[in-house]
């Protein structure tokens, strides 16, 4: 278990002492009257107890953030804010193993993934936005006034004020820092509500931010759930200036309704039903390896994962066979097992949801090519939330399994005959987050990628990220773009100042 120094001690029902994770409000660690269990999905055991923030705690955090936004943090120079962000990045790096242990304890993910993706990106997110604000200039427009004198217009970016951050359980530290870093970079103060499933790395981040010496109230952490809990109290508060949320589309819609009341800025990265298209001219082995990654990484719990795979008919049978062989070889195991490819899902509740789709697929007439159930280990992992990586075929595009986000280690493979057919089927979705194209035909790559109604398209790769690029989804998959200057635009109030010279 990670060394969470800010925690108190809680005596669990079975009598064992576990850490009590606390909220961080106005520079102080706060216990609340209610708490909930944090469970390790590898074996179903309690990892820690977590203080649930009530409305008063959330309101206190928002008020603290407001005071800090009117204080030094909101006024200090970009150079000083960049230096603070670099101290946070260094702080995460110095406690790298603690953050890895926290992510693994909460999610059961492979240790190698927590190291190479989750914690590495937590550091990179802070460093990339520190670099950006240290070098970002602004725009100036020269003009002429009615009397012929010269006029200068320049664009000024000012902090929004108080930003609510609600982050998900699938990539806990990556997605929390993807929002907190630019929010702080632009001089805002933050109230963050991580998922109740993954409180540990967020708590460590608050410890690092405290140690980095940001003013009290610049960053606040409130643990809890969504409805009737911290998530709702935060997103419906009239005293925040913006809300950024990553999670399910219907939750996004609820938050947007609340934000409408006070015309708050919102940035959403929501659900997806992403497609990968494999043309017969693709590099076959690369496409098989790529679709295995895009379907089963993080047990399929990445909003960018491919749950729909369309394969050009001449290679369809061979591709399904090769994909199934790769799927059968995936090592589903403990987080620290040598060569582990996949851990459990994040919780038993989520496992029940994914298994309900495995059952639905069969009801809808799918052929289960591999997987489709629960692995049997014969040890404590049988009390965990493991499922088998699964490949299905044979469904029509109208099946629920082809239209609804499952968010597990499962993909459906369909044949197609023409490029136009593939594009039409990819776009026949209420979602529009990400897509993948596998082809060695350069003009086809550009032509097809341009037609995807998604915010992101990868060609001959997947989840390759340049943090300067716009990231976000179309349709039900989100609202707005974050990344590089797109984040600077969202996390600031932009003014034009016009001066008659």
Ligand X SMILES: O=C(O)C(=O)/C=C/C=C/O
Binding site residues, ligand X, CB under 6 A: 170-171, 175, 178, 302-304, 465, 471
Nearest 5°: phi and psi at 50? -130, 130
CA gap 99, 97 in Å, rounded = 5
State the residue number with the nearest CB to ligand X.
Answer: 303
State which residue, 305 or 422, has the beta carbon closest to ligand X. Answer: 305
Q: Where are the alpha helices (DSSP H) in 266-374?
A: 284-296, 316-328, 348-363
Contact in structure between 37 and 49 (CB atoms under 8 Å)? yes
State which residue, 48 or 170, has the beta carbon closest to ligand X. Answer: 170
DSSP string, 97-155: HHHHHHHHHHH---HHHIIIIIIHHHHHHHHHHHHHHHH----EEEEE-TTS-EEEEEE
State which residue, 24 or 407, has the beta carbon closest to ligand X. Answer: 407
Q: Which of 458, 414, 454 shows the shortest CA–CA distance to 437?
A: 458
In which element (H, E) is residue 328 found? helix 316-328
Strands (E), 213-305: 219-221, 242-246, 265-269, 274-278
State which residue, 161 or 478, has the beta carbon closest to ligand X. Answer: 478
Alpha-carbon dihedral 328, 331, 334, 335, rounded to 10 degrees: -130
Alpha carbon distance, N-terminus to C-terminus of the chain? 63
Residue 462 DSSP one-character state? S
269 flagged as catalytic: yes
State which residue, 153 or 469, has the beta carbon closest to ligand X. Answer: 469
- Shortest spacing between CB 118 and ligand X, in angstroms: 11
CA gap 116, 114 in Å, rounded = 6
Q: Which of 52, 196, 207, 269 is catalytic?
A: 269
List the catalytic residues.
269
């Amino acid at each position: 278990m990670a060394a969470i120094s800010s925690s108190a001690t809680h005596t669990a029902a079975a009598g064992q002492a576990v850490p009590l994770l606390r909220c961080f409000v106005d520079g102080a660690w706060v216990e609340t009257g209610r708490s909930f269990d944090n469970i390790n999905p590898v074996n179903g055991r309690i990892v820690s107890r977590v203080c649930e923030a009530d409305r008063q705690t959330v309101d206190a955090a928002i008020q603290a953030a407001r005071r800090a936004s009117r204080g030094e943090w909101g006024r200090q120079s970009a150079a000083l804010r960049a230096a603070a962000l670099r101290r946070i990045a260094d702080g995460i790096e110095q406690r790298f193993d603690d953050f890895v242990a926290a992510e693994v304890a909460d999610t059961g993910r492979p240790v190698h993934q927590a190291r190479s993706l989750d914690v590495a990106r937590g550091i990179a997110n802070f460093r990339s936005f520190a670099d950006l604000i240290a070098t970002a200039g602004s725009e100036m427009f020269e003009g002429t006034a009615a009397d012929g004198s010269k006029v200068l217009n320049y664009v000024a970016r000012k902090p929004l004020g108080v930003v609510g951050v609600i982050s998900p359980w699938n990539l806990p530290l990556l997605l929390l820092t993807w929002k907190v870093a630019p929010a702080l970079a632009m001089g805002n103060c933050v109230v963050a509500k991580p998922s109740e499933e993954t409180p540990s790395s967020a708590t460590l981040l608050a410890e690092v931010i405290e140690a980095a010496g940001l003013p009290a109230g610049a960053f606040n952490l409130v643990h809890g759930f969504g409805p009737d809990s911290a998530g709702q109290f935060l997103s419906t508060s009239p005293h925040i200036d913006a809300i950024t949320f990553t999670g399910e589309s219907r939750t996004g819609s609820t938050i947007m309704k609340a934000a409408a009341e006070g015309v708050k800025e919102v940035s959403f990265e929501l659900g997806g039903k992403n497609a990968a298209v494999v043309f017969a001219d693709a590099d076959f082995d690369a496409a098989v390896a790529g679709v295995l990654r895009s379907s089963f990484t993080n047990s399929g719990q990445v909003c960018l994962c491919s749950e729909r795979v369309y394969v050009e008919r001449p290679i369809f049978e061979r591709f399904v066979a090769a994909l199934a062989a790769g799927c059968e070889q995936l090592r589903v195991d403990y987080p620290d097992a040598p060569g582990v490819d996949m851990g459990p899902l994040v919780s038993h509740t989520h496992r029940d949801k994914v298994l309900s789709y495995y059952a639905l697929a069969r009801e809808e007439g799918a052929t289960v090519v591999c997987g489709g159930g629960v692995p049997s280990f014969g040890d404590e992992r049988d009390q965990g939330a493991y499922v088998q990586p699964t490949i299905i075929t044979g469904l029509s595009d109208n099946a629920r399994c082809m239209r609804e986000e499952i968010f597990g280690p499962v993909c459906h493979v369909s044949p197609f005959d023409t490029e136009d057919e593939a594009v039409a089927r990819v776009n026949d979705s209420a979602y529009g987050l990400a897509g993948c194209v596998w082809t060695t035909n350069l003009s086809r790559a550009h032509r097809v990628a341009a037609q995807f109604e998604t915010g992101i398209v990868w060609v001959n790769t997947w989840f390759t990220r340049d943090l300067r690029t716009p990231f976000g989804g179309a349709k039900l998959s989100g609202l707005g773009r974050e990344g590089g200057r797109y984040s600077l635009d969202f996390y600031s109030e932009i003014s034009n100042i016009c001066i008659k010279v």
